Amino acid sequence: MSLLIRGGTVVNHDQTYRADVYCEGNVIKHIGKDLDAPNGKTRIVDAGGAYVMPGGIDPHTHMELPFMGTVASEDFFTGTAAGLAGGNTLIIDFVIPGPEQSLLEAYQQWRGWAEKAAGDYAFHVAVTWWSDQVEEEMGVLAREHGVNSFKHFMAYKGAIMVEDDVLMKSFRRCLELGAVPTVHAENGEVVYLMQKALLEAGITGPEGHPLSRPAAVEGEAANRAIQIAGMVGSPVYIVHVSCKDALDAIARARAAGQRVYGEVLAQHLVVDDSVYRNKQWEQAAGHVMSPPFRPKHHQEALWAGLTNGIAQTTATDHCCFCLDQKAMGREDFTRIPNGTAGIEDRMSVLWSEGVRAGRLTPQEFVAITSANCAQIFNIYPKRGRVDIGADAALVVWDPDGSRTISAKTHHQNLDFNVFEGMEVTGIAATTISNGQVVWENGQLNVEKGAGRYIERPTFPVLFDAVKRRNEATRPTAVKREPSKVVTP
Ligand code: URQ
Ligand code: ZN
Ligand code: ZN
């Protein structure tokens, strides 16, 4: 199958130029002006002056996640398909082993679930406990299965939360393997105590959720993870940074030369904590996710973080629970399954509130929706760039197209949308995945199982250098004369 995208303007994170793009199978073969189709079988896509960008990469999703006593309603087929409708051509989802479950066994479980995917996928693997077996299996996953990132939850006490000792051991192991440790940074102990106090005070509704996990809870944990990574010498990637407190911790570390990355969710950029005071329980509960939506002033800090490079990637933490699932917490907000959706709307929200609003250039848009993530997780320029030899995973982006976001019309398997009613400008006109047109003229043309697992190699060069530096600065014991003190 060959495909020729004509009449578009190629936008990469570092260049913009008018060119046609010719793909054969899943590879971009030629880029240039006025290309001809080599034969009558080539599919022509008329870009009509729109932008031709690398397909979006969402580094944070949870399709069909078993969590808080239920299973997320979005599965790998419907979720990746909804992403394709929004211009997203790769997700990095999470394998989250149960208590003392083998990481490899959990990885095989998730790989099985993902076989139905319509779009491409990769996996971070969560370290939810520690043992010699975990240490060993991290190596197998890194060497043999293309996993170069390991997740750590500092929240969710009594479920998947790990303590500082596991953070340190796992960060050391990541450094050894050349893998990136990532963290959900909230102080799970403090959240647990604040939840208890709120319930005892009779606050059982969704308004209790943000009260139990204020920005300080995230700022402290982000700083702690960063300090531990600093002592180990590993990089660290903070997922869903939602507040200035966490951004400031990242900024301090980056200013000191530490390799720290920050990820911002599209939802946290435009939704604030007033949603939890909605008189309608469903409207408030539908917004329960962690970290929670914050007071509005944090949004400007997050936008600033994306434009000044303190944060590098955007994501959605797409983790869907329908309202009847959210109702599990009707009498107790701590039992409301945490999670919201965003995979279909992230790129339009970022274009509309970022580029159209004058905060981001089109090249910066490509950086934060695709290229930076591809570089951090070591799949650039195969992904994250329109270039010869790169994957034919592209989006023809219509900068002037507009749509109104609604659960009534979205392709996500969820009866709620945190962007409900939002009019966005900037839409995916055509999405190409694995060299096939999978979205055009508002229609999905997807196939169950067409999505591929994308392996992500580890970073030996960079990490070996860090290990050498660690070796060179290893403290040594002071050599002393025999003590003169006579012990009784
Ligand atoms: O914490 C996460 O990232 C998962 C469990 C999704 N839920 C959420 O509220 N963010
Ligand atoms: Zn999280
Ligand atoms: Zn998550």
Q: pLDDT tens per residue, the chain (488 residues)?
A: 999 999 999 999 999 999 999 999 999 999 999 999 998 899 999 999 999 999 999 999 999 999 999 999 999 999 999 999 999 999 999 999 999 999 999 999 999 999 999 999 999 999 999 999 999 999 999 999 999 999 999 999 999 999 999 999 999 999 999 999 999 999 999 999 999 999 999 999 999 999 999 999 999 999 999 999 999 999 999 999 999 999 999 999 999 999 999 999 999 999 999 999 999 999 999 999 999 999 999 999 999 999 999 999 999 999 999 999 999 999 999 999 999 999 999 999 999 999 999 999 999 999 999 999 999 999 999 999 999 999 999 999 999 999 999 999 999 999 999 999 999 999 999 999 999 999 999 999 999 999 999 999 999 888 888 888 889 999 999 999 998 888 88
What phi and psi, each to the nearest 5 degrees, are found at residue 130? -135, 140
Q: Is 289 in the pocket of ligand 1 (CB under 6 A)?
A: yes
pLDDT at 13: 98
CA distance 483 to 7: 83
User: Dihedral of CA 161/162/163/168: which sign?
Assistant: negative
Nearest CA to ligand 1 atom 10: 290
Q: Is 188 in the pocket of ligand 1 (CB under 6 A)?
A: no
| Structural contact between residues 41 and 74, judged by C-beta atoms closer than 8 angstroms | no
Q: Is 62 in the pocket of ligand 1 (CB under 6 A)?
A: yes
Separation of CA 125 and ligand 1 centre (Å): 14
Q: Map out the domains of the chain with their CATH numbers.
A: 52-444+453-463 (3.20.20.140)
For the CA of 96, the closest atom of ligand 1 is 5
pLDDT at 300: 97
Separation of CA 272 and ligand 3 centre (Å): 19
Collapse the DSSP code of 138 into the 3-class scheme (helix H, G, I; strand E, B; otherwise coil) and give the result.
helix
| Structural contact between residues 381 and 387, judged by C-beta atoms closer than 8 angstroms | yes
Collapse the DSSP code of 403 into the 3-class scheme (helix H, G, I; strand E, B; otherwise coil) and give the result.
strand
Separation of CA 159 and ligand 3 centre (Å): 14
Separation of CA 47 and ligand 1 centre (Å): 37
Collapse the DSSP code of 149 into the 3-class scheme (helix H, G, I; strand E, B; otherwise coil) and give the result.
strand
Nearest CA to ligand 1 atom 7: 339
pLDDT at 420: 98
The pTM (predicted TM-score) of the whole model is 0.97
Separation of CA 151 and ligand 2 centre (Å): 9
